[in-house]
Amino acid sequence: MQRWSGSGSSPRAEMVPEIAAAVGFVSSLLRTRGCVSEQQLQVFSGALQEALAEHYKHHWFPEKPFKGSGYRCIRINHKMDPIISKAANQIGLNLQQLYQLLPSELTLWVDPYEVSYRIGEDGSICVLYEATATKPVSSYGMLTCKNQMMLGRTSPSKNYMMTVSS
């Protein structure tokens, strides 16, 4: 699979697996509470997928996956991420309901070739999706959003692989 490099193919088609992993994860969090119907989950998933694709379309750099990482980060930190809130509004969930259904501390990194998350400020970072870059990837020695958050840790985090099915 060829990844988007800024010319030729559309970035939307190339971020499909990463967005699908992120959407599947957030949807599974809503599903586990049992308060949202399968039909509502489908509408929510579609709305979230569309919103993320639109939000990321000019901030997706497979040749430099860490560029734009902070912009693509989905965050709930006692304040609801506006993209999740917008998708939830389409199925009639208000902010109060979202706070009851989702973790109060959630960070979801959606980067080219990797989607990972952390629940809680001191939680372990778990990988949801990982792919291999088709070209050498340059980080320009930058600290990613995820790596910056890990700098203050006193113990090393454990990486776990979690698969999400829909």
Q: Is residue 156 situated within a structural domain?
A: no
Q: Is residue 62 situated within a structural domain?
A: yes
For the domain that residue 67 is a member of, what is the CATH number? 3.90.640.90
* Total of domains in the chain: 1
Structural domain for 122, as ranges: 11-130
Q: Is residue 3 situated within a structural domain?
A: no
- Give tens-digit pLDDT for 124-163: 999 999 998 775 554 444 444 555 455 444 444 444 455 5
- Give per-residue burial for 76-115: e unless 16+ CB within 10 Å, then b: beeebbebbeebbeebebeeebbeebbeeebbbbbbbbbb
Q: Is residue 21 situated within a structural domain?
A: yes
Q: Is residue 166 situated within a structural domain?
A: no
With a threshold of 0.85, does the pTM exceed it? Answer: no
